[in-house]
Structure 1
Amino acid sequence: MNLFADIRLAVIAALDALVAEGGLPAGLDYANVAVEPPRDALHGDMATNAAMVLAKPAGAKPRDIAEALAAKLGADARIMAAEVAGPGFLNLRLAPGVWADVVRAALKAGAGYGRSSLGKGVKVNVEYVSANPTGPMHVGHTRGAVFGDALASLLDFAGYEVTREYYINDGGAQVNVLARSAYERYREANGLEPEIREGLYPGDYLIPVGEALKAKYGESLLGQPEEVWLADLREFATEAMMGMIREDLALLNVKMDVYSSEKALYGTGKIEAALKRLEDLGLIYEGVLEPPKGKLPEDWEEREQTLFRSSQFGDDVDRPVKKSDGSWTYFAPDIAYHFDKVERGFDQLIDVFGADHGGYVKRMKAAVAALSENRVPLDIKLIQLVKLFKNGEPFKMSKRAGTFVTLRDVVEQAGADVTRFHMLTRKNDAPLDFDFDKVLEQSKDNPVFYVQYAHARVASVLRKAAEAGVDVSDAALGAADLSLNTHPAELELARKIAEWPRHVEIAARANEPHRIAFFLYEIASDLHALWNRGNEEPALRFVQDDAAITSAKIAQARACAVVISAGLGILGVTPAEEMR
C-alpha cells in the first residue's frame, strides 16, 4: 500500500472526470501532478499542486480548477475534506479509518511494506568501491562501500534488477609498484633488510605476502633482475590484496555479484572494439589539444594524439584515448569497461567514485552517452572525505596501513552496524565527521542509537505483552480495533508510517540512500515522543488494562517497527531487539 500514490490516482481520476464533463480540455499532461505532505501539518494530511501545474495548459485560473477538483474529491470516502488554499493549492484531510488501514497494511506486508514496482525490472549496474588492489581499504573506501551497498539495496527494494560490481584496477602502473613492494618484503622474509624506498608501499600488511612468496619461491628470486619476477609477483600480490579487500568488505557485510578486471581488457581486443564503436560513429580523430587554461606546465608541448569527441556530449574538451607513443591513456580501458556494461544489457549505470575523481565525471558520462547512443544513462556519485576523531582529537593513522586509517580500524572500533548507519547520515557529496565517541554514545543526538532504541523499545513492549497473554502476532494485531487510536500523537505516527513507501521511491529516484537514514530518525523520533507522552498521560501507554486498547496501541507500535526494520535492512544494519 502506497497511500500517497493511491490518493494521487484519485486526483487523476477526478481530473479525468472533469475532462469528460468539459470542465478541463483533453490532452493535459499529468506528469507533474503531485500529492505530498503539506509544509505545515496544520493544513491537512496531504496537498496536491494539480490546479497550479494544469492552469496554464488548461487556460483556466488555478483556483477555479482547485474548487472543481475539491468537489469531485469530496465523493471519495477516504477524503474527509478538500480545502482550497492560496492561489490554488488543494489541502486534503483524510478520514481516521485511512490511518487504521495503513497500520493494517504494514502489519500484513511485514518486511515487504514499502516495496515498490518503481523499477519494473529495469537492469541497473552499481559499481562501487573499486579500490586499487594495492593494500587494505581505507576510511574513504568505507564510506563508498556503505553508500554503494545501501544504494543497491534501496534500488532492489524499489523493484530494480540490481547487479553489484567491483572494478579491479589491476592494469596500471600501481600494480607494478605493488609487486616491487612485495619483493622487498620477500627479501625481508629471507633475512635481508628491505629497501622500502620512496614510492613503494610501506605498510606492514605486505609482510605476510613476503612470507608467502618465500614459501612459494624459496630463495630463487633473490638477486634476480626485475624482468624475471615482476609479472609473477604482480599477479601473486594482486590476488593477495584482493583477498584482503574481500575480507575487509565482509566486515561490513558487503558482497559483490561481479568482480571485473581492468587487466582483462588488455590484449583481448576489448579496448580496440570500444574505440572502433566510437570511430564508426565519427567520434574518434587525430588532433592536438589546446594547452590547459591558467598557468602553462613547463613540460607542455603540442603533440598529435588520438582524441574522443567528448565535447559533443557535454564535456568541456575532447579527451585523448591514445598517447603520442601509441600506448593507451587511462581513459581508454575505462571506456572499454563501460562499453562492456552497456553490451551486457544494463538499462542504467551508476558509478560511485571518490571525491578526487570529480574531473572524470563529464568525460565518463560522455563516453557512455556516445557508446549507447544516449540510451543508457550514467549517474556518477562522488563520495566526499571522512574525518575521524577520537577523544576530541583526529584519529591517528594505522601503522599496519603505513599511511592511512583502514576500514578494519573503523569497524573494530565502532562495529559494522554503527559504521554503516553513520556513514549515511550525510549526503554523499557532503564531508562527514566520524567521531568514535559520539557514534557510540547513547543519546538522541546519536541517530544510530536513537533509531535502534526505537526498535528495541517496540520489541520490549511486544515481549512484555506476550508474557501477559496478549497475542502479538502480526495477524492478531492487524485484527485489532485500530479506531481506538485517536490521540493526535498516535495519528501522527500513523501518518509517518504511511509516508514510508513514498520516501522509498523518492530516495530511489534520486539514488540517495541517506534519505532512508533521515526518515528513520524522523519516525523513531515520533515513536519516542509517543512513548514519552505515555509517561505523563497513562492513557497513551502501549500496555493498558483493557486488552482491546492494548492490542490497538501495540499494533501501531509494531507497524512502526516494521518500517524501521525495513529501513535498516536497506542500510545493511541489523535491528536491535534490546539495548545493552
Structure 2
Amino acid sequence: METVRMNLFTDIRARVLEAIEALQSEGVLPEGLNTAPVTVEPPRDPLHGDMATNAAMVLAKPAQKKPRDIAEALAAHLGTDDRIASAEVAGPGFLNLRLAPTVWQGLPETVLTQGADFGRSTLGQGEKVNVEYVSANPTGPLHVGHTRGAVFGDALASLLDYAGYDVTREYYINDGGAQVDVLARSVYLRYLEAQGHTVEFADGTYPGDYLIPVGEALKNLVGDKYVDQPESVWLEYVREFSTDAMMEIIREDLRLLNVEMDSFFSEKSLYGTGLIESAIESLRDKGLIYRGVLEPPKGKKPEDWEPREQTLFKSTEHGDDVDRPIMKSDGAWTYFAPDIAYHYDKVQRGYDQLIDVFGADHGGYVKRMKAAVSALSDGKTPLDIKLIQLVKLFKNGEPFKMSKRAGTFVTLRDVVEEVGPDVTRFVMLTRKNDAPLDFDFDKAVEQSRDNPVFYVQYAHARVCSVMRKAQAAGIDVSDAALAQADPALRAHEAEQGLAKKIAEWPRLVEIAARGHEPHKVAIWLNELASELHALWNKGHDVPELRFLQEDDVAASQSKIALARAAAVVISAGLGILGVTPAEEMR
C-alpha cells in the first residue's frame, strides 16, 4: 500500500526532478538546467489524468531539444515509479500522469495518522509576519466594513500560521488625530446630558447612542467636575477616557467575532517620543528627504495652484507616482509622517514581511506606503496591502437598515446578532477581498446547497453522524483504528474521487498562503463538501458505497476512514477561517 507524505504534488514534482537528473547523467539532457519553473499540478481537464507537468515545455529551449522528445524520455523514467500508473505525452509536450489506485486508497491512513497536521506546511520557515488589520478610528463601534476586514485579516493570519509563518496580529489605534478631539467633545455632550443638561449635537460630532453609557461612566467617575468648564480644562482628560472606553467597545466587538489581537499599537505613542523624528532622519540619511515644490494636482489649473516649498519624501525613487509631503508649511507633521514612523517601528521590530489590511477608500495610499517601507528597509521587507471592498447587506430582499445604536451605519454587532459569528465569518470569505460582497441574511441561514456555510457544515456533521451510528453498533471508529482499516475495501471510482480532492489540501494551503488569499480555503472547502455529499448520495443507489456496511465491520471501518479523513480536513480548513465545525445540524 502506498501512503502519501505531506504534499503529494510536491512528492511527485521531486520524482520528476529526479528523472531530469537521471536524463542529465545519461547525457540525454545537458547539465546546469534551471528546474525552478518545473511544476506539477492538477490538469485543467480531469479526464487527462491526476497531475500534469510542464517540465518538457520549460526545459526544451535551454536544452535545445523538442519538448515531445524530452517528455517521452521523462515518461519512460517516471513509468518505473510504483505510484505512477501511466505517463502520457500530450499536445506539444505536456506530460499527463495517472497515479496508481493504491495511492488514493492509502490516503486516509496518512490523514488519520497525521491528524490536524495533514496539510500544515513549512512554507513560511518561521519568517516573522506582521498582519495589521481592522485599525478603525476609536470613535465608534465597528461597522460592517470593519467586519469584513477583521474576518479577512484574522483568517489570513491563521492561514499564514498554518503555513509555517510566525504571525503577529496587530491593531493600529488611530488616536493621534483630530477625530479623537471630536470624540471627546461628543462624549462631553453625553456627560452634560447625564448631568441633566439639554444638549445639541452640532455637525461634526458623533450623535450615536453608543456614547450615552460613556457619558454616564464619565459622570460616575468625575461627578460635576467638568460642568460649565472651558474645553481647555477637560479636553485632554476626556479624550483619553473616551478613547479607552471606545477601544473596550471595539475589543468586545472583536470578541463577538472571536478575533483576538496580539498587539495594539497607539498612534499617540509616536508623538513627543522622537519616533517620528527617528523615522524621518532614517530617510534623510538615505538622501530621500528634501525641500521642494510639488507639481499642481491633476485637474487643477496652474493659476489656481499656489506653489509652496515643503519638506518632501522622495517616494518616486521607490515606485511612487509623485513625491509626498511629510511636513506642513507651519512645521506640523502631515498625516503620512506618523504612518511612516509606525512602519519604521515594524521594520525595527525585525519583521520579515508586513501586511496591511485597508478599506477600499485607501487605494490611493498603497504606492506611497509601499515606497516608505521599501526605503526604510532598503528594499528588504516586503509590504503587501490588501484592500477590502464594500459589503452590501440584504434582508427579505431589501437593503438592511442602519443601526439605531450607531446612528449612521450597520454595526458588526448587528450582523453577528442576526446570524452568529460562524456564518458571518464564512460568508465574508466567500469572495476575494478586492471584490464587492453581497451579504444576504436569508441566504446565509438557509439550509440548502446554495448556502456554502450550510453545505460545508453539513458535510462535517454527516460524518459525525455516521461515526455516532457506528459507535452505537459497537464499531471502533477511533482515528487509530480507522487508520489501520483495509484500503482495498475503498476501491470504487467515486471513493477515489473524494480521496483525490482531499489530497489537494496541502497544495491548496500553500497556494492560498503565497497569494495571501484565505477566500481560496472557503471556496475549496465547498468543493470538498460537494465530493463528500456526492459520494453519500451515490450510496442510495449503490449499497457498496455506503459508509456503514451492515454486518461488515471491516468494510465499515475502511469507508468511514475515508469520510473521517474528509472531516479532518474540513475541520482544519474551518479552523483557518475561524469557523467552528458542526457536529450536528439543528
What residue in structure 1 maps to residue 473 of structure 2? 468
Between 448-457 and 210-219, the greater mean CA deviation after superposition: 210-219
> Which amino acid in the other structure matches residue 52 of structure 2?
A
Does residue 205 of the first structure (1) align with residue 213 of the second (2)? Answer: no
Matches within 5 A, 1:130-145: 130-145=135-150
Q: Secondary structure at the match of 2:544?
A: helix
Q: Which of 229, 237, 240 is the equivalent residue of 1:235?
A: 240
Does residue 318 of the first structure (1) align with residue 323 of the second (2)? Answer: yes
Q: Which of 10, 20, 24 is the equivalent residue of 1:19?
A: 24
> Which amino acid in the other structure matches residue 86 of structure 1?
G
What residue in structure 2 maps to residue 177 of structure 1? 182
CA contact (8 A) 1:154 1:570 kept: yes
How far residue 222 of structure 1 moved from its aligned partner, in angstroms, is 1.2
What residue in structure 2 maps to residue 457 of structure 1? 462
How far residue 101 of structure 1 moved from its aligned partner, in angstroms, is 2.6
Quote the Cα distance in structure 2 between the aligned partners of 1:579 and 1:455. 10
What residue in structure 1 maps to residue 255 of structure 2? 250
CA contact (8 A) 1:152 1:162 kept: yes
What residue in structure 1 maps to residue 267 of structure 2? 262
> Which amino acid in the other structure matches residue 548 of structure 1?
A
Quote the Cα distance in structure 2 between the aligned partners of 1:294 and 1:183. 41
What residue in structure 1 maps to residue 423 of structure 2? 418
Between 152-161 and 207-216, the greater mean CA deviation after superposition: 207-216
Does residue 3 of the first structure (1) align with residue 8 of the second (2)? Answer: yes
CA contact (8 A) 1:3 1:102 kept: no
> Which amino acid in the other structure matches residue 576 of structure 1?
A
Quote the Cα distance in structure 2 between the aligned partners of 1:475 and 1:218. 65
Q: Secondary structure at the match of 1:471?
A: coil
> Which amino acid in the other structure matches residue 216 of structure 2?
E
Does residue 394 of the first structure (1) align with residue 399 of the second (2)? Answer: yes
CA contact (8 A) 1:489 1:530 kept: yes
Q: Secondary structure at the match of 1:360?
A: helix
> Which amino acid in the other structure matches residue 390 of structure 1?
K
> Which amino acid in the other structure matches residue 576 of structure 2?
I
> Which amino acid in the other structure matches residue 557 of structure 1?
A
Quote the Cα distance in structure 1 between the aligned partners of 2:219 and 2:440. 41
Structure 1 residue ranges, 4+ long, deviating more than 6 angstroms after superposition: none
Quote the Cα distance in structure 2 between the aligned partners of 1:485 and 1:118. 32
Quote the Cα distance in structure 1 between the aligned partners of 2:102 and 2:538. 23
CA contact (8 A) 2:105 2:491 kept: no
Quote the Cα distance in structure 1 between the aligned partners of 2:494 and 2:105. 14
Q: Secondary structure at the match of 2:52?
A: strand
CA contact (8 A) 1:45 1:94 kept: yes
> Which amino acid in the other structure matches residue 563 of structure 2?
A
How far residue 300 of structure 1 moved from its aligned partner, in angstroms, is 4.2
What residue in structure 1 maps to residue 356 of structure 2? 351
Query: How has the CA–CA distance of structure 1 residues 75 and 184 changed in structure 2, closer, same or farther, with 3 Å as cutoff?
Result: same
Does residue 114 of the first structure (1) align with residue 140 of the second (2)? Answer: no
Q: Which of 312, 328, 336 is the equivalent residue of 1:307?
A: 312
How far residue 97 of structure 1 moved from its aligned partner, in angstroms, is 1.1
> Which amino acid in the other structure matches residue 129 of structure 1?
V
What residue in structure 2 maps to residue 551 of structure 1? 557
Q: Secondary structure at the match of 1:380?
A: strand
What residue in structure 2 maps to residue 576 of structure 1? 582
CA contact (8 A) 1:96 1:483 kept: no
Long gaps (5+) in structure 1: none
Post-superposition Cα deviations, 1:348-378, rounded to whole Å, max 9, x if no partner, equal 0000000000000000000000000000000
What residue in structure 1 maps to residue 3 of structure 2? none
How far residue 297 of structure 1 moved from its aligned partner, in angstroms, is 9.9
What residue in structure 2 maps to residue 33 of structure 1? 38
Does residue 73 of the first structure (1) align with residue 68 of the second (2)? Answer: no
Q: Secondary structure at the match of 2:470?
A: helix
What residue in structure 2 maps to residue 500 of structure 1? 505
Quote the Cα distance in structure 2 between the aligned partners of 1:103 and 1:413. 38
Q: Secondary structure at the match of 1:197?
A: coil
Q: Secondary structure at the match of 1:120?
A: coil
How far residue 298 of structure 1 moved from its aligned partner, in angstroms, is 9.4
Q: Which of 393, 403, 411 is the equivalent residue of 1:406?
A: 411
Quote the Cα distance in structure 1 between the aligned partners of 2:432 and 2:539. 34
Aligned identity (percent) is: 75
Does residue 58 of the first structure (1) align with residue 63 of the second (2)? Answer: yes
> Which amino acid in the other structure matches residue 125 of structure 1?
N
> Which amino acid in the other structure matches residue 566 of structure 1?
A
> Which amino acid in the other structure matches residue 396 of structure 1?
K
How far residue 30 of structure 1 moved from its aligned partner, in angstroms, is 1.3
Q: Which of 341, 359, 379 is the equivalent residue of 1:374?
A: 379
> Which amino acid in the other structure matches residue 89 of structure 2?
V
Quote the Cα distance in structure 1 between the aligned partners of 2:17 and 2:137. 51
Matches within 5 A, 1:83-162: 83-162=88-167
Post-superposition Cα deviations, 1:384-413, rounded to whole Å, max 9, x if no partner, equal 000000111000000100110000000000
